[in-house]
Amino acid sequence: MAGRGRGRGRGRASGRKETKSSNSDKKVKKSRSSKAGLRFPVGRIARFLKAGKYADRIGAGAPVYLAAVLEYLAAEILELAGNAAKDNKKTRIDPTHIQLAVRNDTELSKLLENAIIPNSCVMPFIHILLITPTTQDIDDDTE
């Protein structure tokens, strides 16, 4: 077989002498997410930004900032949805709890006003004019 060397054995280490390397010589690679103290993947977001052709050039800090913003939004929604699940005496968050959390918060509701959350319920709402007035309300109006 041409181009395979002299064939002294099989495997990678055959014919080579091993050299000892200390652990201090090796640098442990640290991800950009761990450098920034984030859980969301900075590298993946950078790849999506480049592949999406949002701009010709993407700065080094842009994916870090975007990952931080996305992580904050996810944490905020999960906290509110967890509270909604706890109010309904449930231990698992389902899409209904996410819908309740988002629609009851004014800022999140404005941010996600055009978002449709699948498998979630419709927000309970009864218009004021449709509620029949009680006798106490009628007495208050006449006085």
**Quick check: is 45 in a domain?**
yes
The mean per-residue pLDDT over the stretch 2-27 comes to 62
Both tokens of residue 105?
A: 């918060």
Q: Is 108 helix (H, G, I), strand (E, B) or coil?
A: helix
How large a percentage of the chain has pLDDT more than 70?
77
**Quick check: is 70 in a domain?**
yes
Q: How far out from the chain centre does Cα 101 lie?
A: 16
Both tokens of residue 96?
A: 């209904």
The string of pLDDT tens digits covering residues 32-54 is 999 999 999 999 999 999 999 99
Residue 75: pLDDT band with limits 50, 70, 90: very high
**Quick check: is 27 in a domain?**
no
Residue 98: which CATH number?
1.10.20.10
The string of pLDDT tens digits covering residues 116-136 is 999 988 877 888 888 888 767
**Quick check: is 22 in a domain?**
no
First to last CA, the chain: 107
**Which residue shows structure tokens 């950078």?**
46
Q: What is the pLDDT of residue 60?
A: 96
Q: How far out from the chain centre does Cα 67 lie?
A: 8
